[in-house]
Structure 1
Amino acid sequence: MFDLDLWKEILSALKQNRMRSFMTAFGVFWGIFMLIIMSGAGRALENGVMEGVKAFATNSAFFWTERTSKPYEGFQRGRRWIYNNQDIEYIRQSVKEIEYLSPRLFGWQQNGDNTIRGERTGAFNIYGDYPDYFKIDGWTPVKGRLMNEIDVLQKRKVCVIGERVEEVMFDKDEDPIGQYLKISGVYFQVVGVIHPETRINIGGGKKEETIIIPFSTMQTAYNYGDEIHFFSVTANQGTSVSSLEEKLKRILKERHKIAPDDTQAIGSFNIEAEFKKFSMLFLGIQALTWIVGIGTLLAGVIGVSNIMLVIIKERTQEIGIQRAIGATPGKIMLHIIAESVFLTVMAGYIGLSLGVALLEVLNQILLAAGDEVFFRNPEVNLTMALSALAVLVFSGAFAGFIPARRAIKIKPIDALRDES
């Protein structure tokens, strides 16, 4: 049953020394506030990174070349090498575990701007790709269409462009579809404007500043011969992309006479492994957040317990009088524990509320920033909030229990004699 007199006594006791009550409660407030903020920030980073990773096919792997690190079959260490069309064709024919395979060429930016349209110029990321690349690295057409197989087979001079390219090279009310861009000296017709499903760009740079042309067109138009700078694959259903990654490395090392134990010559990563790494990383961040938050909260609770001990000392005579007029040890104990719980829960609730409010403000800022940041939806789930409140109630009871035990051990006659 709700005891109004009890709560009046608790509020009266706290008001008698407001500064001490405030300083005592601040430790608990700060602990729960930091727990909420760190947890929300950690979740925002996790949401942003995972959203970017998930936009790629989860069974995909990416490959590029590096200098060799070991001598092998007459070749010195530090040798530069590169993929070629024959590598891709051999893999396509002999490795049946592959679902999609897409080689890529990078159009390196040299001497600033590489794209011209009338009086407008711009420096953009130029890539030569196969249509399968859009199934590996997610892109959505917002105008026109994506590149297709016919574009590659016929070596068409067409391109799809990112939204930033459209902003720079065309007027706001102008339709870019069917218009031409002069890219590194060659004219290409725009057939689509595309939007990336993730800001992570394998080739570097901002994705919205990307121009993609058919792979075959890029090889012939810019005299790349049979060079390939990079390629990506996805594994068939039921095939581990990690095992496929290792198999492709073995094949490429054999074809290019690279030492089997040279771990540097082929750069690669797969989304499956990266996803697992990120999952473990963010699990560790969440655990660390709880450790730091609970540690800070515990320090505040210890402060509450110490202050309650001081309060018991100051109220020795008052407790003696209560005992003398018939107050039971249980009632005295309940009063002290209730006061401790009230102080702890109120401070924690304010910290929880302010923490959630600050995360909501941060979320609105992030929404306004759009895709410019990797943070997404800084949130604290209901389970965590309820857990935090449960910890507060338990902590408050624990902080008041030891002082309460001490209080009920005070003998009425000794308490009445106490003059402190």
Structure 2
Amino acid sequence: MNVGTPQAARPFHQRRGLLIAVIVIIAVVILILVHLLGGKKARTGTPPQVVSATAATLGDMPEILNELGTVTPVATVNVLPQLSGYLTAVGYQEGQDVTKGQFLAQIDPRQYEIDKQQAQAQLAKDQASLAQARADLARYAQLHAQKSIAEQTYADQQFTVRQEEAAVQADQANIAQYDLDLAYCHITAPVAGRVGLRLVDPGNYVTASSSPGIVTITTMKPTTVQFTVPQNSLAKVLQQFNAPGAKLAVAIYNSDNSRQLATGTLYAISNQMATSTGTVPLRATVPNADEALFPSEFVNVQLLVDTLQNAVLVPTPAVQSGAPGDYVYLVNDDQTVSVHKVTQGPSDGKSTVILSGLSAGQTVVTDGMDRLSDGARIKIAAAKPAQAGSAPAAASSSAGPPQPHGKRAHASASATQAS
């Protein structure tokens, strides 16, 4: 019988299946090893970081102090009555510009006119008494020369004449006082400027120096702007301010620093420092011909202290701050970067002066520094096509005042230069 044949063939089929399984397992292991080894080899070459870079340049940098200021008029006068009486007339309109000496208001002068007439009558009486006393003195002088009257009588008459002369002088002073009172009844503008809202209406009884007064006059042009500078900047300001013929320019911007309102010059520095804030008050004069500055308005002040000539300039975004202090990422010849410590100086928002640690011509990273580290490989981004109007922006001088969004505009220009 052939019953034993399948039993003899079974071990051979089992051995063949086992051999196939071993071959499959070995192939899988080889594939896994190849995949793992190939992945590690690929990861060893980390791709370079794409950045924007530009070279440090030489240029002029204005040294500007940005401070908060307040428009302070040259003169603000609250016109007060100098005597008492009823206000009979007002000669101005609210918000009107007036000149010095212009009529403002009238106080009823009748009482003071009557007082003056009484003083004039008293003067006439005392002048008559003085004339009589002088005539008597002349007669007594003749009698005294003839030894016909006592010495005491002659001396008494001399004293009488002097008393009458003093009475006449007192009367003249009283008349002058009433003349002054009548002048005070006619109230005029003590300074040129703009009147505010009317503080008292005709028909009211006012008293001497009564509050709130008649009206307030504020000089609109020229005007001044008062601001403060920190004590650390005072030495530089004093040095330039005291230089022969020097005039420090001041630019005034509105409260949100978006529009320039006026320009002026620094003309006064306070003689004391505020100990609570460590600042010194300064004042600049402004022509304010267009009256763009309004009294008590809050403004931003830019004081041009000095201009650094041939300074090393880099885009402001290139300067970073961290554990080493202020530093930049310096681009090496082998397309790697190194952390380079620098000392930064003034900045106009677009560019920053490097006082030490960097030379003109060295290339620094301006954008893409988020994942950089010392020794990292980089790839400088290709230049982007210039947009309309970008050339004038790139060619603008760094000496101008800071503009909004200056860092973004400079970052685009830096990428273009790096190419």
Task: Report the TM-score when normalising by structure 2.
Answer: 0.23
Flag the structure with higher strand content. Answer: 2
Larger radius of gyration: 2
More helix by share: 1
TM-score normalised by the chain length of structure 1: 0.23
